[in-house]
Amino acid sequence: MQQIIQEEIIKIQPKGLMTIPKKFRQQLSLEENSLVRMKEEKGRLIIEAVRTLPYPVRSYSEDEIDEFIKLDNKETSQLKKKGLL
Domains, the chain, in order of start with CATH, read 14-50 (2.10.260)
* Section 36-64 average pLDDT: 92
**Does residue 46 surpass a pLDDT of 70?**
yes
What's residue 1's pLDDT?
A: 67
* pLDDT band (50, 70, 90) for residue 51: confident
Mean pLDDT for all residues in the chain: 92
CB of 46 within 8 A of CB of 38?
A: yes
pTM attached to this predicted model: 0.54
